[in-house]
Chains A and B, each alone.
Chain A
Amino acid sequence: MYEFQYHRPESLDEAAKIFAGADDPKFLAGGMTMIPVMKQRLAMPSDIIDLSRIGELTGLSAGAGMVTIGAMTPHAEVAGSKEVEKAIPALAALAGGIGDPAVRNRGTIGGSIANNDPSADYPAAVLGLNATVHTTARDIAADAFFTDMFETALEDDELITRVSFPAPEKAAYAKFANPASRYATAGVFVAKTATGIRVAVTGAGACVFRVEAMEQALSKDFSPGALDGIAVPADELNADIHASAEYRSHLIGVLARRAVLQTG
C-alpha cells in the first residue's frame, strides 16, 4: 500500500468537504475490492474517505412494491432480510451468493455497483430489476448507470446514497461461478416487471448489459423454450483463461433458460 490520509466522516456533508479538499481522494465502502487493490499497489489514492460511519447511507426498507437499500448495507443484511425475501426473493438470493460469508458481512451494494466489476452480481439485479440509483446529486436509472468496464455514470465526487428496486411480478438470477474467484463467469437476471421483461447479463461482457432479443422473446412467451436459438454473439463477450467468448455466449443461453425456469 502507498501512503494515504484516512478519514471517517459522520455525514455526507463532511465527506463532501473532505473530498473537495483532497488531491486524489477515493471513497471506501466495504473495501472488498478497494483494499486488495491498494494492497497490491494498483491504486494510489491520496485520501481514503471511509463511509462506514455515515448514518444516511444505511438502512433497508421494503413496502408498497419497492425495496430500498442504503448504499452501505452489507450483502449479508440484504440476504438475511425477511422483507427483501418477501418482496424480491431473487434479490435476497443474489445477495446471499456474493463472495463468501465474510465478504458478505463487509461488502456493500453501493461499493459493488459503484465499482462495476464486469463479473459482479449486483449490477445484474440493478439492471434486471430496473432499479433507480439515488446519489448525492440525482437519481440515475439503471439503464443509464453502468457505462463500461469499471465505469459508471457517477461523477468523481458523487456518492450513491441508496438503491431502490421496484418489486417485479417474478424474477430469478442464475449464476455460473468462476471456480477460483467465485465471481460470475456469467450470470443472468431475468425479471418480469410492470414495465416489461428484462434480461440482464453480468460476467460476460465489459459490464452488465441487457439482451433485447431475449426480452422480446420472453414478452411473447415467458418460458425457457422461447429462448431457443437466441444467442449473444461471442464477439461481443469477454474471453480469459477460464472461459472463452463462445463458452460465455453458450452459458448466457443456458443460464437465461434456467433463470426463467426458476421464476416458477
Chain B
Amino acid sequence: MEKFGIGQGIRRHEDFRFLSGKGTYIDDITHDGMVHAVVVRSPHAHAKIVAIEAQSAMAMPGVLLIVTGEDWTREGFGTMPTKSAVQKKIDGTPLNQPPRHALAIDTARYVGEPVALVVAETEMQAVDAAEALDIDYDELDAVVDPVKALAPGAPQLWDDIPGNFCLDFELGDKDGTQAAFASADHVVSLAIENNRVTAVPLETRGAIASYDPETENYLLENATQNVHANRATFAGDVLNIPEEQLHHIAPDVGGGFGAKNSAYGEPALILYAAKRTGRPVKWINQRGESFLSDTHGRGQLSTVELALDKDGTFRALRTSTIGGIGCYCWTVGPFTPSGGAARTQGGPYNFPAMYYSSKVAFTNTAPMDPYRGAGRPEASFQTERIIDYAARTLGFDPVELRRRNLMTPDMLPRKTPMGLDVDSGNFPEVFDRTLAMSDRAGYRARVAASAEKGIRRGFAIAPYMECTGGGPKEFAGVDFGRDGTVTLRVGSQSTGMGHETSMPQILAAELGIDFDRVTYVQGDTEATPIGGGHGGSRNLEVGGNAVLQAAREITAKGKRIAAHLLNSNEDDIDFADGAFKDVKTGQSIAMDDVIEASFETGRLPEAMDPGCLDTGTVYEREIITIPNGCHAAEVEVDPETGAVRVERFWAVDDFGKIINPLLADGQVMGGVAQGLGQALLEEIVYDEDSGQLLTGSLMDYALPRADDLPEMKIAYFEDAPTAKNPLGVKGAGEAGCCGAPPAIVNAVIDALAPDGVRHIEMPLTPEKVWRAIASAR
C-alpha cells in the first residue's frame, strides 16, 4: 500500500494509460451509426455570403445534411454572449457586442470562420462534399491590425458598431500617476508589442454529439477544458433547452492552455446535426483548421512609460494598450486586453502610482480568448521590458535597479495601485536565490568562452508577480464503495496537469488512506453539480481546497462514528495518520474501520445512515492568490546570423505550498517552453491586405522543439505561506509564461548592449536580431 503525503513527488496515476496507448481522446471514441461532420470555413477575411448552393453537394454519395447560416436563422438558435469579467466601457455603458452565432449568418469576418457544416456517412465523403459546396461570396475590405481598425476610414466590421470599437478601459490613479510623471527626474517610454500567438495543443479540437429523441437529451463529448460553463452556453444560450438536457463530457484532453476553454461554434453545430440526422456526429479539426479557428492570445500593442527618481527609485508606471480581439467578443475576449493585463502591472515592484488604459478593437482575424496567463504575461513583459530599457538608457545596472525597487516583506500585506491584494511573498529573497543559483561568479568566464567563438552572451533576471483566476467556486464529491474503493469527483479538469494524481494525493493524505484506492472523475456535468473546469491556475487553489474541505467534512463525520464505536465523547476524538483516537483513553480505530462501519446501520450512531460518509461540498475562494517568482536566462547570440540560443535558465517560484513537486516542475518547464516560444519563435501573422493567415501550419508557425530548450534549473520558495486558502497554495500553471519571455528577451538585449541595441520586438527571430545589430551600428 502506497501512503503518500502532501509535498511528495508521487508518480502519476494516469501515466500507465497514456504510456500504453490506452488514453481515450475524443478521436478515439466511436459510436454505432456514427457519422462525420466537416466544417466549411470562409476562405475570405471579410465577405458577404451571397448564396450557398447546397443541392449538388447534398446529392453526393453519403451526404446526410448541410447546415448553413440560413438554416441556423430559421431554427431560431441563440447567440453566444461574452462572459468577460469586464462588461462596461469607461463611461459606464455596456461594451459593444456583436451577435455571435455558431456560424456566419450572412457575412464571414475572418478566414476560417465556419460558414457551413457538411455531414456524411464517412469523413472522406464529408470532405468531398464540403469541397463541392458552391458558395458565392462578395468580398469586402478587411482589417487585421487593431490600430488600423480603430483609425478613421477603416473597413467596418459591423454596421451598428462604429469604428470597430469594442470598449475602452482604465484602472489605477490617472491623476496621481500623471503627477508622479510630472515631478520625476527621469521618464522613459517604449512602444512594446506583445506578439500574437496561439496555444497549439497537440490534440486539435473535436467533439461528438448524440441525441436521444425519446428523452430529447443530448450528449456532447468534447475536447474542452470547461464542460459546465460551455454547457450553459450551448444549452441555455444557443439551443434554448434546460441545462439538464445536455450531458457534457470531456474525455482525455490532449492539452488546452486556454484554447479549449471557449464555447466554440462547432459543438453547437454538431449538436443540431445529431438531432437532425438522428445519428451521433463526430467532428475533428485538422491542424490547418486549428490555426485558422482556435482562439489566439496576447497580440497587444502598448506604450509603456516609467518614471524614476535620480537614484533609480520607481515613482510610477503607465501603460496604454491597444488590443484586437477578432470580430466577436467570443467567450471572454474583451477581458485580456482590459482587466486581464491591468491587474498585475508593475509586478513585484514598489510602485507608488500606476495607471493602465486600453482600447479594444474588432478585427478580421480569428478570435482572441485566454492563452496561458491571459494578460499576466503581457503585464509582466511590459513591466520588465520598460525597466530594462530604463536601466540601459539611464545607465543603471539592470540587476541592481530591479533589486532595489522590489516590495519588501515589511510592506505586506498591501493593495497595489492596481487593486491586487498582495498578502505574502518575499520578493528580495526569491530574487537573491535566483541570482545565487545562476552562478554569477562563473559568468565572466562564460562570456569570454562565447566571445572566443565570436558569440555574444547575455544575462537577465526577471522577477514576476501574477495572480490566479478562473471560476471562484469548485465542487468536490467523495463516494465510498463497500468494496473499499473511493471515488473523488471534482469539477475542475485536467488537460494534462495531472489532477488524477494531485487531487487524490490531497484526499489520501488527509484521510490517511491508500492513494491507489482513489478513482478520480472529472470533466462530466453529471458527475458534479458545478465545475469551473481549467483556467487561471485555479485547480489546486480552488479545486484542491474543495477536496481538502470534503476530506475535513468526512473526518468530522468519521469522528462521530469513531466516538460511537469507541464509546467516547466526540470532543475527545483526535484524527491523525489515518486513525481516530480517544485522547483520554488512548483507544483508537482506523479510518478503514470507520469507513467499513459507515455501511452498517448497527455500528452507526443514531441520525447517521449507511453511506453517510459520502460527501459533496462546494469551496468558494474569497480572494485570488498571488503566485510569484523570479526567472533568469543566459543566452548566446550569433551576431553574424542573429540566431539566439537560450543556454541556461533558472527559476525560483513561490507557489505557496507545493503539493507534488514533480507536477509543479512540469508546470514550470512547460510554461517556460511556451514563454521561450513566444520570445523567440512563435507569431501568428496575417497578410495586411488580404487578411489571409500566413502562419497556417506547423511549417510556418514555429513551435519550440527539444533542441530549442536548455536544461532548466528549478527551485521553490515555500517560506512565505498564504492564508488565503486552507491548503496554502498559490497556483503554478502560468509562471513560465510570465517569467521566461522577459528573462530571455532582456538577456538578448544584454548580449547586444555593447552593439548599441536597445529593443527588439518579439519574437526575436534571427533576421530581426541581425537587423537590430546592423541598424544599431
Point out the residue from B124, B131, B699 that lies within 8 Å of A180, measured CB to CB.
B699
Q: A251 within 8 Å of B by Cβ?
A: yes
Q: B432 within 8 Å of A by Cβ?
A: no
Q: A176 within 8 Å of B by Cβ?
A: yes
Per the 8 Å Cβ criterion, residues 77-130 of A in contact with B are none
Point out the residue from A176, A181, A250 that lies within 8 Å of B700, measured CB to CB.
A181
Q: Is the interface of A mostly helix, strand, loop or mixed?
A: loop
Q: A241 within 8 Å of B by Cβ?
A: yes
Q: B709 within 8 Å of A by Cβ?
A: no
Contact with B along A167-197 (1 / 0, CB 8 A): 0000000001011110000000000000000
Cα separation A244 to B771 with both chains bound (whole Å)? 11
Cα separation A243 to B131 with both chains bound (whole Å)? 33
Does the CB pair B767–A244 fall under 8 Å? yes
Per the 8 Å Cβ criterion, residues 245-264 of A in contact with B are 247, 250-251, 254
Does the CB pair A254–B641 fall under 8 Å? yes
Chain B residues near A242 (CB, 8 Å)? 700, 765, 767
CB distance from B253 to the nearest CB of A (A): 25
Total B residues in contact with A, Cβ cutoff 8 Å: 23
Chain B residues near A179 (CB, 8 Å)? 680-681, 702, 708, 765
Does the CB pair B767–A247 fall under 8 Å? yes
CB distance from B409 to the nearest CB of A (A): 42
Does the CB pair A241–B131 fall under 8 Å? no
Chain A, Cβ-Cβ closest to B677 = A179
Chain A, Cβ-Cβ closest to B683 = A241
Q: A41 within 8 Å of B by Cβ?
A: yes
Point out the residue from A40, A176, A180, A243 that lies within 8 Å of B698, measured CB to CB.
A180
Q: B615 within 8 Å of A by Cβ?
A: no
Does the CB pair B702–A241 fall under 8 Å? no
Per the 8 Å Cβ criterion, residues 59-78 of A in contact with B are none
Chain A, Cβ-Cβ closest to B694 = A241
Does the CB pair A247–B695 fall under 8 Å? no
Cα separation A241 to B697 with both chains bound (whole Å)? 13
Chain A residues near B708 (CB, 8 Å)? 179
Chain B, Cβ-Cβ closest to A39 = B286
Point out the residue from B124, B699, B703, B767 that lies within 8 Å of A243, measured CB to CB.
B767
Does the CB pair A241–B770 fall under 8 Å? no
Chain A, Cβ-Cβ closest to B643 = A176
Cα separation A18 to B685 with both chains bound (whole Å)? 44
CB distance from B208 to the nearest CB of A (A): 23
Point out the residue from B640, B700, B702 that lies within 8 Å of A254, measured CB to CB.
B640
Q: B701 within 8 Å of A by Cβ?
A: yes
Does the CB pair B640–A241 fall under 8 Å? no
Given A41-B131, A243-B767, A180 and B701 touching (CB < 8 A)?
Answer: yes
Cα separation A45 to B695 with both chains bound (whole Å)? 27
Given A241-B695, A254-B640, A180 and B700 touching (CB < 8 A)?
Answer: yes
Pick the most buried of A178, A241, A254: most chain B CB atoms within 10 A of its CB: A241
Chain B, Cβ-Cβ closest to A182 = B705
Cα separation A250 to B694 with both chains bound (whole Å)? 24
Chain A residues near B703 (CB, 8 Å)? 180
CB distance from A120 to the nearest CB of B (A): 13
Given A254-B640, A254-B641, A180 and B702 touching (CB < 8 A)?
Answer: yes
Chain B residues near A250 (CB, 8 Å)? 770
Chain A residues near B680 (CB, 8 Å)? 179
Cα separation A18 to B514 with both chains bound (whole Å)? 66
Chain A residues near B767 (CB, 8 Å)? 242-244, 247
Chain B residues near A1 (CB, 8 Å)? 124
Given A241-B694, A242-B765, A251 and B700 touching (CB < 8 A)?
Answer: no
Chain A residues near B124 (CB, 8 Å)? 1
Chain B, Cβ-Cβ closest to A251 = B641
Chain B, Cβ-Cβ closest to A176 = B641
Chain B residues near A180 (CB, 8 Å)? 681, 698-703
Chain A residues near B641 (CB, 8 Å)? 176, 251, 254
Per the 8 Å Cβ criterion, residues 17-76 of A in contact with B are 40-41
Pick the most buried of A40, A178, A181, A244: most chain B CB atoms within 10 A of its CB: A181
Point out the residue from B643, B681, B700 that lies within 8 Å of A241, measured CB to CB.
B700
Does the CB pair B699–A181 fall under 8 Å? yes
CB distance from B292 to the nearest CB of A (A): 14
Chain A residues near B685 (CB, 8 Å)? 241
Chain A, Cβ-Cβ closest to B763 = A179
Cα separation A57 to B442 with both chains bound (whole Å)? 55
CB distance from B637 to the nearest CB of A (A): 14
Chain B, Cβ-Cβ closest to A250 = B770
Per the 8 Å Cβ criterion, residues 113-131 of B in contact with A are 124, 131
Chain B residues near A247 (CB, 8 Å)? 766-767, 770-771
Per the 8 Å Cβ criterion, residues 137-187 of A in contact with B are 176, 178-181
Chain A, Cβ-Cβ closest to B685 = A241
Cα separation A254 to B641 with both chains bound (whole Å)? 7
Chain A residues near B643 (CB, 8 Å)? 176
Contact with A along B742-767 (1 / 0, CB 8 A): 00000000000000000000000111
Cα separation A22 to B702 with both chains bound (whole Å)? 40
Cα separation A181 to B313 with both chains bound (whole Å)? 46
Pick the most buried of A179, A242, A254: most chain B CB atoms within 10 A of its CB: A179
CB distance from A260 to the nearest CB of B (A): 14
CB distance from B707 to the nearest CB of A (A): 10
Cα separation A98 to B351 with both chains bound (whole Å)? 52
Contact with A along B637-670 (1 / 0, CB 8 A): 0001101000000000000000000000000000
Cα separation A176 to B124 with both chains bound (whole Å)? 39
Per the 8 Å Cβ criterion, residues 602-643 of B in contact with A are 640-641, 643
Cα separation A81 to B288 with both chains bound (whole Å)? 37
Contact with B along A184-220 (1 / 0, CB 8 A): 0000000000000000000000000000000000000
Cα separation A247 to B131 with both chains bound (whole Å)? 39
CB distance from A108 to the nearest CB of B (A): 20
Per the 8 Å Cβ criterion, residues 222-252 of A in contact with B are 241-244, 247, 250-251
B residues contacting A by CB (< 8 A) are: 124, 131, 288, 640-641, 643, 680-681, 685, 694-695, 698-703, 708, 765-767, 770-771
- Can you report 25 residue pairs joining A to B where beta carbons are below 8 Å apart? A40-B288, A41-B131, A176-B641, A176-B766, A179-B680, A179-B681, A179-B702, A179-B708, A180-B700, A180-B702, A180-B703, A181-B698, A181-B699, A241-B695, A241-B700, A242-B765, A242-B767, A243-B766, A243-B767, A244-B767, A247-B766, A247-B767, A247-B771, A250-B770, A251-B641
Further 11 A-B residue pairs, CB within 8 A, beyond A176-B643, A241-B695, A247-B771: A176-B641, A179-B702, A180-B703, A181-B700, A241-B700, A243-B767, A244-B767, A247-B766, A247-B767, A247-B770, A254-B641
